[in-house]
Amino acid sequence: MTIHQFGDRAVLIELASADSPTDFVSRLAMVLPPNLQARAGISSVLVESQSPDPDLTALVAQALASAEEVDSTVTSSPRAHTLAVTYDGLDLNTLATELHMSVAGLVAAHTSTEWTVALVGFAPGLPYLVPVSDNVFADIPRLDTPRVKVPAGSVAVAAGMSCVYPKDMPGGWNIIGRTETELFDATLEEPSLLHPGDTVTFEVAQ
Co-location of 93 and 175 in the same domain? yes
Q: Alpha-carbon distance 110 to 155, whole Å?
A: 10
Write down the pTM of the prediction: 0.78
Give the number of domains in the chain: 2
Give the residue ranges of DSSP H helices in the chain. 21-29, 56-67, 92-98, 103-111
Co-location of 157 and 117 in the same domain? yes
Choosing from 43, 74, 105, the residue where a domain stops is: 74
Choosing from 41, 74, 107, the residue where a domain stops is: 74
Co-location of 53 and 135 in the same domain? no
Q: Alpha-carbon distance 201 to 206, whole Å?
A: 15
User: Which residues of the chain fall short of a pLDDT of 70?
Assistant: 17-19, 70-77
| Res 42: pLDDT | 80
Q: Is residue 77 within 8 Å of 154, Cβ to Cβ?
A: no
Number of neighbouring beta carbons within 10 Å of residue 17: 5
Q: Alpha-carbon distance 48 to 158, whole Å?
A: 29
